[in-house]
Copies of this chain bind each other. A is one copy, B any other.
């Protein structure tokens, strides 16, 4: 493959002139024409690493998230990448698997690679490791006042779920959630749900599971079988995520209770497994595309301007998606 010396030789300029041209430093017009012609003739591919070193900057953005393997995270990654691509940035994908040390490794790696910035969904407190040199945007978790923060209105979503169930005739509500003290989004969903029920004097319970993630569906099924084998009075269930709602939906297939006639069910996320999927569980829909776009916009804005003032919180409204597990009104 041709190198920079070959280009310089063919264009009859110095190596430095070619280097300047590639790095966007102005050179004489006739030299520029000769250099470009030589680049084209030789199919010369400039070395990005050299340019990065020279500019102390790159076109990489690190996207750190717990996993790619849920509909919500897959859809979010899809839109973040699309938005980066429009702005000529590339995504370094970092799945932290909810491992705090791996998250820190990725942040360190991002600094080493001289990435332009980081977009992260973390459930750990990474604030001690954030330096002011590195632009960062946090989705769902508020880190500190300097870090732009993009989140759905989880509190409002919890209220909305309780409201929609009540308006559709449910009289005794149940919220199903796994205990994740570091997941502020989930906590806010509980707070919103409880807030609505208390203010509107709706009868409710919160089933807070404290076990591990792997066996949650099994434990949840056991809980539902116990609760519903006698004359259970819960007629409206709010699951903290669509995944939990799917567990509940499948458990009810084994019981003599029908959805939505006996029990109505609302999940949370509204993300699809693929863009043309038909959702069937009624849910509180997060605007995934907007979260993605705003995160990229915020990151590029602070990367350009390096502001020193407090960053705004971007709280994005959620909506109710009526599918097959709630009654029509």
Q: Which residues of A contact B (CB under 8 A)?
A: 1, 45-50, 52-53, 58, 60, 63, 67-71, 73-75, 77-78, 81-82, 85, 90-95, 97, 108-109, 111-114, 131, 133, 213-214, 216-217, 243, 246, 250, 273-278
Q: A1-B133, A53-B50, A78-B69 are in contact. Are A108 and B274 (CB under 8 A)?
A: no
Contact with A49, one of B46, B75, B109, B114 (Cβ below 8 angstroms): B114
Residues of chain B within 8 A of A111, CB atoms compared:
45
Q: Let me know if B70 and A93 touch, CB within 8 A.
A: no
CA distance in complex: A246, B272 (Å):
13
Q: Let me know if B92 and A91 touch, CB within 8 A.
A: yes
Q: Let me know if A48 and B1 touch, CB within 8 A.
A: no
Residues of chain B within 8 A of A278, CB atoms compared:
217, 246, 250
CA distance in complex: A95, B90 (Å):
10
Q: Let me know if B77 and A68 touch, CB within 8 A.
A: yes
Q: A69-B78, A95-B78 are in contact. Are A46 and B90 (CB under 8 A)?
A: no
Residues of chain B within 8 A of A47, CB atoms compared:
53, 112, 114
CA distance in complex: A91, B96 (Å):
13
CA distance in complex: A90, B276 (Å):
31
Give the Cβ gap from A225 to chain B, nearest Cβ, in Å: 16
Give the Cβ gap from A71 to chain B, nearest Cβ, in Å: 5
Contact with A74, one of B46, B69, B82 (Cβ below 8 angstroms): B69
Q: Let me know if B81 and A68 touch, CB within 8 A.
A: yes
Q: Let me know if A78 and B82 touch, CB within 8 A.
A: no
Q: Let me know if A243 and B69 touch, CB within 8 A.
A: no
CA distance in complex: A93, B131 (Å):
25
Q: Let me know if B108 and A45 touch, CB within 8 A.
A: yes
Taking CB as reference atom, which chain B residue is nearest A70?
Answer: B274
Residues of chain B within 8 A of A243, CB atoms compared:
274, 276-277
CA distance in complex: A237, B53 (Å):
57
Residues of chain B within 8 A of A275, CB atoms compared:
69
Q: Let me know if A114 and B48 touch, CB within 8 A.
A: yes
Q: Let me know if B78 and A112 touch, CB within 8 A.
A: no
Give the Cβ gap from A18 to chain B, nearest Cβ, in Å: 15
Q: Let me know if A276 and B53 touch, CB within 8 A.
A: no
Residues of chain B within 8 A of A45, CB atoms compared:
108, 111-112
Q: A49-B53, A277-B246 are in contact. Are A78 and B71 (CB under 8 A)?
A: no
Taking CB as reference atom, which chain B residue is nearest A45?
Answer: B111
Contact with A82, one of B1, B95, B213 (Cβ below 8 angstroms): B95
CA distance in complex: A216, B275 (Å):
12
